[in-house]
């Protein structure tokens, strides 16, 4: 009896295998040819943009690599400034020229201002109740008006000058203290802490970098995981029947944990602010007092007074706070990181910017924001940094809301649109010697970050342009000016400009893959 069972199992296995060969494989072949037939038929019916070869089901997903902006640039050299790719079954345009970017963000801006729906954004941004990820429409207009008028107006940005100057002075002191050890300082880490502290003080009214653990939650760990998740690729968004993989690779569990911790943290912050505002009463009559309020105070006041013209729900407030933090920290510190990288590896440019800053600063202890408008070369250094190293090289993807024509090609509704800022800002047709770091190109240039010049779009353009340009510029200019004013800089022993690691790490925001280490020498006036 014991010998019969294995024989029976073997026969059943063979029968199953034969069944699989006779049924499953022909079915898969039929599916493949049906897919190709439908794909070719639909392609003949429309004048579609050029597209690299793709695989069934996967489309071009398998070829994107760890740095898609570089992959797209290499493809664009063969297929042009507008090409069509497929992320699974989802069609997507990749724009790599200023001419086509202008069509996207100006000519057809109203029809391509939607955002694609991604499950990670749904979870982290409270079902996309923020500004950056929400769908284009009336809700977006309402949220953007709050963001621009109440949080990021020029007056509001100026009101946080004291915070920027205080935190910049603390950074200079920290570098001087580390210099006593005659060792290299980790500028990447210092920039991350600085921008985190500035944004926390502006948004929450206090810093959270000093081992804060509210309700047992380590905010530094949560925010680090949050940034990582925002830049994570979720295969289930493009091949839905593979979404089950996220239960096994840990993505779903991590997403649930981080979303829960972010919400607990924001609940604690909102409760603390509400209690304090209730105790002190409404002090918004005094303009100066009002300007001293942080983001949370302002949003709670708008909610209480219903001054937005529509009910502002608690989850919407949380989503706006998450927007402010995620947009204000990661993208800001990466600009400082790459700017200092290029200055240190280009002594001539460093000498030129130091000559300007020190000439304007005189013998003062530090540079304040009063001196910044005079520093034209410093601003050119930052513009050149943003040209070569846009923080979000593919910007935030858009989505078409109806069928339309772009550059003579037929584009279907619900097509994703990636604007490859990294590629179009290195286009030799617009930028001579685009791989060279040359701030001089901006000294007499008509191209400006704050205008709709589509050759330079690190903050996007049109209706979906990043509202935090002024906020980011204020931090970057002040910090960079003080770094070159107070210190002379050199690479660590054994590292030369030629051997310095310039590789990028993957993610939504492109940082250096290795931290920037440098040797500071305090400048004597």
pTM (2 decimals)?
0.87
pLDDT digits (tens, 9 = 90+) for 460-472: 999 999 888 888 9
The verdict on 21 and 146 lying in the same domain is no
d(CA 99, CA 432): 17
Give the pLDDT band (50/70/90) at residue 45.
Answer: low
pLDDT at residue 212, rounded to an integer: 57
pLDDT digits (tens, 9 = 90+) for 23-42: 444 444 444 444 444 454 44
The verdict on 24 and 51 lying in the same domain is no
**Which residue pairs, CB below 8 angstroms and at least 24 apart, start in 362-366?**
363/525, 366/165, 366/168, 366/169, 366/172, 366/482, 366/485, 366/486
pLDDT at residue 503, rounded to an integer: 96
The verdict on 53 and 83 lying in the same domain is yes
pLDDT at residue 282, rounded to an integer: 53
> In terms of C-beta density within 10 A (0-12 exposed, 13-18 middle, 19 or more buried), how is residue 120 classed?
buried
Instruction: Give the count of domains, the chain.
Output: 2
pLDDT digits (tens, 9 = 90+) for 431-446: 999 999 999 999 988 7
pLDDT digits (tens, 9 = 90+) for 355-409: 999 999 988 899 999 999 999 999 999 999 999 999 999 999 999 999 999 999 9
Residue 466 annotated as part of some ligand binding site: yes
Instruction: Look at 215-224, 286-295, 498-507 and tell me which has the smallest mean pLDDT.
Output: 286-295
Contacts of 487 (CB under 8 A, 6+ apart): 175, 520, 521, 522, 523
Mean pLDDT of 49-74: 95
Domain with 23, as residue range(s), is 1-45
The verdict on 425 and 282 lying in the same domain is yes
The verdict on 378 and 476 lying in the same domain is yes
pLDDT at residue 500, rounded to an integer: 96
pLDDT at residue 20, rounded to an integer: 41
For 20, 35, 37, 243, 244, the CA distances from 31, given in Å and listed in that order, are 15, 6, 10, 21, 22
378 CB-side CA count, 13 A: 29
Other CB atoms within a 10 A radius of the CB of residue 364 amount to 12
The verdict on 28 and 152 lying in the same domain is no
33 CB-side CA count, 13 A: 5
Which two tokens mark 423?
A: 């590629």
The verdict on 173 and 261 lying in the same domain is yes
Residue 166 contacts residue 328 (beta carbons within 8 Å)? no
d(CA 147, CA 28): 51
The verdict on 139 and 101 lying in the same domain is yes
pLDDT at residue 288, rounded to an integer: 44
pLDDT at residue 28, rounded to an integer: 43
The verdict on 350 and 389 lying in the same domain is yes
The verdict on 50 and 19 lying in the same domain is no
pLDDT digits (tens, 9 = 90+) for 98-153: 999 999 999 999 999 999 889 999 999 999 999 999 999 999 998 998 888 878 88
The domain spanning residue 371 has which CATH number?
1.10.630.10
The verdict on 10 and 54 lying in the same domain is no
Other CB atoms within a 10 A radius of the CB of residue 373 amount to 10
H helices, E strands: number in the chain: 18, 12
- List residues bridging with 346 in a β-sheet: none
pLDDT at residue 483, rounded to an integer: 98
d(CA 93, CA 76): 11
**Which DSSP state fits 446?**
S
The verdict on 66 and 9 lying in the same domain is no
d(CA 174, CA 182): 13
């Amino acid at each position: 009896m014991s010998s019969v069972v294995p024989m029976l199992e073997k026969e059943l296995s063979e029968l199953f295998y034969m069944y699989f060969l006779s049924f499953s494989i022909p079915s898969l072949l039929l599916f493949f040819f049906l897919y190709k037939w439908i794909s070719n038929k639909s392609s003949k019916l429309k004048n579609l943009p050029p597209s690299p070869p793709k695989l069934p089901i996967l489309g071009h997903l398998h070829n994107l690599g760890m740095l898609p902006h570089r992959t797209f640039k290499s493809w664009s050299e063969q297929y042009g400034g507008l090409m069509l790719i497929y992320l699974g079954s989802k069609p997507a345009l990749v724009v790599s020229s200023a001419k086509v970017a202008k069509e996207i963000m100006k000519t057809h801006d109203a029809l391509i201002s939607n955002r694609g729906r991604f499950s990670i954004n749904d979870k982290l941004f409270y079902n996309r109740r923020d500004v950056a990820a929400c769908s284009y429409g009336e809700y977006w207009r309402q949220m953007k008006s709050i963001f621009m008028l109440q949080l990021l107006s020029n007056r509001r940005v100026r009101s946080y000058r004291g915070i920027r100057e205080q935190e910049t002075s603390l950074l200079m002191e920290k570098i001087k203290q580390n210099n006593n050890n005659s060792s290299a300082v980790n500028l990447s880490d210092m920039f991350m802490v600085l921008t985190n502290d500035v944004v926390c003080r502006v948004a929450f009214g206090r810093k959270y970098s000093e081992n804060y653990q509210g309700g047992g939650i380590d905010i530094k760990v949560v925010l680090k995981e949050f940034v990582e998740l925002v830049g994570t690729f979720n295969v289930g968004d493009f091949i839905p029947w593979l979404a089950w993989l996220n239960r096994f690779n840990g993505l779903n569990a991590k997403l649930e944990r981080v979303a829960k911790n972010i919400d607990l943290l924001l609940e604690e912050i909102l409760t603390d602010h509400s209690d304090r505002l209730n105790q002190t009463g409404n002090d918004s009559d005094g303009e100066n007092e009002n300007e001293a309020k942080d983001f949370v105070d302002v949003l709670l006041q708008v909610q209480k007074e219903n001054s937005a013209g529509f009910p502002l729900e608690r989850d919407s407030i949380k989503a706006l706070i998450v927007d402010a933090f995620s947009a204000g920290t990661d993208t800001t510190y990466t600009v400082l990181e790459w700017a200092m990288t290029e200055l240190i590896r280009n002594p001539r440019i460093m000498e030129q910017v130091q000559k300007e800053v020190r000439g304007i600063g005189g013998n003062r202890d530090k540079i304040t924001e009063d001196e910044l408008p005079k520093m034209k070369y410093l601003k050119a250094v930052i513009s050149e940094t943003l040209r070569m190293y846009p923080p979000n090289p593919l910007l935030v993807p858009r989505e078409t809301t109806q069928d339309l024509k772009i550059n003579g090609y037929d584009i279907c509704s619900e097509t994703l649109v990636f604007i490859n800022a990294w590629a179009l800002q290195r286009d030799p047709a617009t930028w001579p010697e685009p791989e060279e770091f040359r701030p001089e190109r901006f000294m007499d240039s008509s191209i400006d970050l704050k205008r709709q010049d589509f050759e330079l779009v690190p903050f996007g353009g049109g209706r979906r342009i990043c509202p935090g340009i002024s906020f980011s510029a204020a931090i970057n200019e002040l910090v960079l000016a003080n770094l070159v004013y107070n210190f002379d800089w050199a690479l660590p022993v054994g590292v030369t400009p030629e051997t310095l690691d310039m590789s990028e790490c993957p993610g939504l925001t492109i940082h250096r893959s290795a931290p920037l280490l440098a040797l500071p020498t305090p400048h004597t006036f």
